[in-house]
Amino acid sequence: MQWPPEALVRVPERSGRTYWTEGGDLSLRILQDVVSPGPRAAAAELYVAKLTAKLGRDSEAQLREHAKAMPQNEWIYDWNTATPPQIPPGTRVLLDDETLRDGLQNPSVCDPTIEEKIEILHLMESLGIDSVNIGLPGAGPRAAAHTEALASEIVTSRMKIKPNCAARTHENDIRPIVEISERVGIAIEAATFLGSSPIRRLVEEWTVDHLQRTTENAVKFAVQHGLPSMYVTEDTIRTDPETVKRLYSTAIRNGARAVVLCDTVGHATPNGAFNLVKFVVDEVVKPSGEKIRVDWHGHNDRGLAIANSLAAVAGGAHQVHGAANALGERVGNTPMELMLVNLRLMGLIDRDLSNLRHYCEKVARATKTSIPLNYPVIGHDAFRTATGVHAAAIVKAIQKGDQRLADDVYSGVPAHLFGLEQIIEIGPMSGKSNVLFWLARHQIPADDAVVSRILDAAKQSQRVLTDAEIHALCTEPAPR
DSSP string, 34-80: ---SSTTHHHHHEEEEE--SPPPTT-HHHHHHHHHTS-GGGT---GG
401 pLDDT tier (thresholds 50, 70, 90): confident
Residue 327 has pLDDT above 70, yes or no: yes
Is 33 or 141 the better-scoring residue by pLDDT?
A: 141
Residue 50 has pLDDT above 70, yes or no: no
- 333 and 296 in contact (C-beta within 8 Å)? no
d(CA 336, CA 330): 16
| DSSP code string of 267-292 | ---HHHHHHHHHHHIIIIIHHHTS--
How distant, in Å, are the alpha carbons of 16, 49, 79 from that of 33? 7, 15, 11
Mean pLDDT, rounded, for 191-198: 97
Three-state DSSP class for 255? coil
The per-residue pLDDT for range 253-303, each reduced to its tens digit, is: 999 999 999 999 999 999 999 999 999 999 999 999 999 999 999 999 999
Mean pLDDT, rounded, for 156-175: 97
d(CA 322, CA 308): 12
How distant, in Å, are the alpha carbons of 1, 125, 181, 415 from that of 353? 49, 11, 31, 11
Q: Position 16: which residue type? A: G
- 118 and 150 in contact (C-beta within 8 Å)? yes
What is the phi/psi pair of residue 294, to 5°?
-105, 125
How many DSSP H helices and E strands does the chain contain?
Answer: 18, 14
478 pLDDT tier (thresholds 50, 70, 90): low
Looking at residue 94, its pLDDT comes to: 98
Mean pLDDT, rounded, for 436-451: 92
Residue 177 has pLDDT above 90, yes or no: yes
What is the phi/psi pair of residue 458, to 5°?
-65, -40
Mean pLDDT, rounded, for 84-108: 96
Looking at residue 357, its pLDDT comes to: 97
Residue 15 has pLDDT above 70, yes or no: no
Give the CA diameter of the chain: 92
Looking at residue 29, its pLDDT comes to: 30
Mean pLDDT, rounded, for 303-313: 98
Three-state DSSP class for 261? strand
Mean pLDDT, rounded, for 409-417: 93
Residues 6+ apart with CB under 8 A from 181: 151, 187, 188, 226, 227
d(CA 335, CA 325): 5
**In terms of Cα–Cα distance, which of 237, 269, 231 is closest to 253?**
231
Is 200 or 68 the better-scoring residue by pLDDT?
A: 200
Residue 70 has pLDDT above 90, yes or no: no
Mean pLDDT, rounded, for 83-89: 93
d(CA 193, CA 215): 9
Beta strands in 374-425 (DSSP E): 384-385, 423-424
Q: What radius of gyration, in Å, describes the C-alpha atoms of the chain?
A: 28
Is 272 or 47 the better-scoring residue by pLDDT?
A: 272
**In terms of Cα–Cα distance, which of 338, 362, 271, 264 is closest to 308?**
271
Residue 314: CB atoms within 10 A of its CB come to: 18
Q: Position 135: which residue type? A: G
**Torsion angle (degrees, nearest 10) of CA 270, 312, 286, 294:** 140
Kindly report the average pLDDT of the chain as a whole number. 87
d(CA 197, CA 191): 18
Q: Minimum mean pLDDT among 54-58, 281-285, 452-456: which range?
A: 54-58
Mean pLDDT, rounded, for 430-453: 92
**Torsion angle (degrees, nearest 10) of CA 115, 117, 118, 122:** 140
62 pLDDT tier (thresholds 50, 70, 90): low
Mean pLDDT, rounded, for 226-249: 98
- Tell how strand 26-31 and strand 18-23 pair up: antiparallel
| DSSP code string of 113-179 | PHHHHHHHHHHHHHTT--EEE---GGG-HHHHHHHHHHHHHHHHTT-SPEEEEEEESSHHHHHHHHH
The percent of residues in the chain predicted with pLDDT above 90, rounded, is 78
Buried (b) or exposed (e) across 339-363, using 16+ Cβ within 10 A?
A: bbbbbbebebbeeebebbbebbebb
The per-residue pLDDT for range 113-134, each reduced to its tens digit, is: 999 999 999 999 999 999 999 9
Looking at residue 46, its pLDDT comes to: 33
45 pLDDT tier (thresholds 50, 70, 90): very low
Looking at residue 1, its pLDDT comes to: 38
Looking at residue 92, its pLDDT comes to: 97
- Tell how strand 258-263 and strand 293-298 pair up: parallel
24 pLDDT tier (thresholds 50, 70, 90): very low
Residue 184 has pLDDT above 80, yes or no: yes
CA contacts within 13 A on the Cβ side of 392: 8
Q: Minimum mean pLDDT among 23-32, 36-45, 387-396: which range?
A: 23-32
d(CA 274, CA 249): 19
Is 240 or 72 the better-scoring residue by pLDDT?
A: 240
Residue 51 has pLDDT above 80, yes or no: no
Looking at residue 75, its pLDDT comes to: 81
**In terms of Cα–Cα distance, which of 234, 260, 239, 301 is closest to 94?**
260
Q: Position 27: which residue type? A: S
**In terms of Cα–Cα distance, which of 80, 68, 19 is closest to 347?**
80
Looking at residue 7, its pLDDT comes to: 34
Looking at residue 19, its pLDDT comes to: 33
